[in-house]
């Protein structure tokens, strides 16, 4: 660019040379004029060079792309909608620079062996579970989420599939589909969404995705201390001819976090109004006591209290955690109305090379919990005593191996059903879990 400017100016200058032919005085005059012009042109060239250098050194700002209200975030057309949570857990709103679409999932392969003294022959089976979830951050306060999972559509508390059935294809269903609004300390979910309560398997199985409308509000009280309140309206079974089945519930929790410890206590109340059971099957009743007409004998008005503490007395890889849960059904029609659990774990399973060991004991009477949504880790859903031993090894950040042994038997012989009241049953599981 500089050479082109100089060449153009010099060409203009030398074009005047023929006009210099003439007498000496006239030539001297024109020579002086030419020298003046050259000096002016050199000054002009120097000015242009400085402007050009300044323009070249200045940074060039890239154009900003605006997609779905997020600068610099581009979504591929036809890409799937995302998710949470995990699971499990509440997703934080994306920052303006974060991608709007997130996808995650897991695959679990399991071998399970069931044994007993007198109830039935020993049995082994292969089990698979696959889940994929996606979340789309519409803006800084609205997220849409969904999850596809294997498992029976009629069983809300498991996504496992037993391998067999002459190689039939796996059943897959839309396990979650929801909208999540997050504004300050308030979170609101609508649809079929991840679990919103602090929980243990005694009352809520980890695979249960509630539906309806839920909200949580959390406020900080002091450094490391917070107070939260969660509420839910949960439609369970709709009836055109009579009253619906619903649950309304709430939980209040106080949580504290320190440099090497954390603790929390939570109290919840779940009020089930079971007007319709038209859609219920044997997998939903699962050990709760029934009337002769096939309806539940008891109401379910559950008070559930959970306390947990985690300390790190040594290396960060070896924390100690303790969690206890007590539940009582104030709507029970019999004295079989309470249950409790306690779990101790040493270690963690978060990064490659981590180890964790655990022991848990739980006991639940026949109508202590609403069995349709409690755990299905063993064959007896209520009226049981259960010991559990577990070991976890994180081979990689995204690959974990687990071994778990359950030893259990009926609690109250009167409600043991087809199970031998004195027979200890066993269930041994080997799991390989891959996450992405």
pLDDT in tens, 394-415: 999 999 999 999 999 999 998 8
pLDDT band at 84 (very low <50, low <70, confident <90, very high): very low
Say if residue 424 is in the same domain as residue 284: yes
- Identify which of 432, 377, 429, 435 has the alpha carbon closest to the alpha carbon of residue 403: 429
Q: Residues 308, 200: one domain? A: yes
- The yes-or-no verdict on residue 119 having pLDDT over 90 is no
In a domain, 408, yes or no: yes
Dist. CA 370–CA 302, nearest whole Å? 9
Confidence of residue 366 (pLDDT cuts 50, 70, 90): very high
| 368 belongs to a structural domain | yes
Token pair listed for 37:
């012009």
Residue 62 counted as domain residue: no
CATH of the domain at 90: 2.40.160.10
169 shares its domain with 42: no
Q: Residue 65 domain-assigned? A: no
Q: 154 lies in a domain?
A: yes
Question: Nearest 5°: phi and psi at 70?
Answer: -120, 115
Whether residues 90 and 52 fall in one domain? no
Of 10, 42, 57, the residue that ends a domain is: 57
Same domain, 277 and 363: yes
Q: Count of domains in the chain?
A: 2
| CA–CA distance, 45 with 390 (Å, rounded to integer) | 82
Domain that holds residue 378: 82-435
Cβ neighbours of residue 261 closer than 8 Å, sequence gap 6 or more: 309, 310, 311, 312
Same domain (yes/no): 131, 182: yes
Do 46 and 125 fall within a single domain? no
For residues 26 and 110, state if they share a domain. Answer: no
Regarding whether 9 and 93 lie in a shared domain, the answer is no
Helix (H, G, I), strand (E, B) or coil at 417: coil
Provide DSSP, 328-386: EETT-SSS--EEEEEEEEEE--SSTT-EEEEEEEEEE-TTSS-TTTS--SSS-SSSEEE
Strand blocks (E) in 20-171: 66-67, 70-71, 101-115, 123-137, 142-150, 161-162
| Residue 39 pLDDT class (50, 70, 90 cuts) | confident
Residue 69 counted as domain residue: no
In a domain, 325, yes or no: yes
Handedness of CA 431, 196, 355, 350 (dihedral sign): positive
> Do 105 and 149 reside in the same domain of the chain?
yes
Rounded mean pLDDT of 157-169? Answer: 91
Q: Is there a single domain that holds both residue 318 and residue 354?
A: yes
325 and 419 in a single domain? The answer is yes
Please state whether 417 falls in left (phi above 0), alpha (psi between -120 and 50) or beta. Answer: left
- Whether residue 79 is predicted with pLDDT greater than 70 in this model: the reply is no
pLDDT at 96: 47
For residue 91, is it within any domain?
Answer: yes
What are the φ and ψ backbone dihedral angles of 390, each rounded to 5 degrees? Answer: -145, 155
pLDDT at 282: 82
Average the pLDDT over 227-243 and give the result.
95
Could you give the angle at which helices 24-57 and 2-14 cross, rounded to 10 degrees?
A: 170
- Residue of 192, 223, 182 whose CA lies nearest to 90: 182
């Amino acid at each position: 660019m500089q050479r082109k400017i100089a060449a153009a100016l010099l060409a203009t200058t030398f074009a005047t040379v023929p006009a210099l032919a003439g007498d000496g005085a006239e030539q001297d005059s024109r020579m002086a004029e030419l020298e003046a012009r050259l000096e002016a042109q050199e000054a002009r060239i120097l000015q242009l060079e400085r402007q050009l250098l300044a323009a070249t050194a200045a940074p060039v700002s890239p154009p900003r792309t605006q997609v779905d209200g997020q600068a610099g975030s581009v979504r591929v057309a036809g890409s799937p909608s995302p998710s949470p949570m995990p699971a499990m857990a509440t997703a934080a709103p994306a920052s303006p620079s974060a991608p709007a679409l997130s996808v995650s999932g897991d695959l679990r392969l399991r071998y399970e062996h069931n044994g007993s003294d007198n109830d039935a022959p020993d049995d082994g089976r292969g089990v698979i579970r696959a889940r994929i979830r996606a979340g789309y951050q519409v803006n800084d306060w609205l997220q849409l989420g969904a999850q596809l999972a294997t498992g029976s559509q009629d069983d809300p508390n498991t996504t496992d599939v037993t391998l067999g059935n002459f190689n039939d294809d796996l059943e897959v269903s839309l396990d979650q589909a929801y909208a999540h609004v997050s504004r300050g300390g308030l979170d609101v979910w609508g649809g079929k969404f991840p679990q919103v309560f602090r929980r243990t398997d005694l009352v809520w199985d980890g695979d249960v995705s509630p539906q309806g409308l839920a909200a949580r509000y959390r406020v900080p009280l002091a450094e490391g201390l917070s107070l939260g309140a969660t509420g839910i309206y949960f439609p369970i079974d709709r009836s055109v001819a009579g009253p619906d089945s619903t649950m309304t519930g709430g939980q209040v929790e106080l949580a504290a976090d320190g440099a090497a410890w954390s603790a929390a206590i939570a109290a919840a109340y779940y009020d089930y109004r079971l007007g319709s059971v038209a859609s219920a099957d044997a997998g939903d009743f699962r050990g709760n006591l029934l009337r002769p007409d096939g309806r539940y004998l008891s109401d379910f008005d559950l008070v559930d209290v959970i306390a947990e503490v985690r300390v790190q007395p040594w290396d960060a890889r070896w924390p100690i955690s303790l969690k206890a849960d007590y539940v009582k059904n104030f709507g029970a029609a019999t004295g079989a109305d309470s249950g409790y659990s306690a779990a101790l774990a040493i270690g963690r399973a978060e990064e490659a090379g981590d180890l964790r060991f655990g022991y848990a004991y739980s006991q639940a009477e026949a109508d202590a919990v609403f069995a349709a949504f409690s755990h299905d880790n063993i064959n007896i859903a209520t009226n049981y005593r259960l010991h559990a031993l577990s070991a976890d090894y994180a081979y990689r950040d995204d690959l974990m191996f687990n071994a778990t042994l359950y030893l259990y038997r009926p609690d109250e012989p009167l409600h043991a059903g087809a199970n031998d009241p004195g027979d200890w049953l066993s269930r041994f599981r080997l799991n390989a879990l891959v996450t992405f």
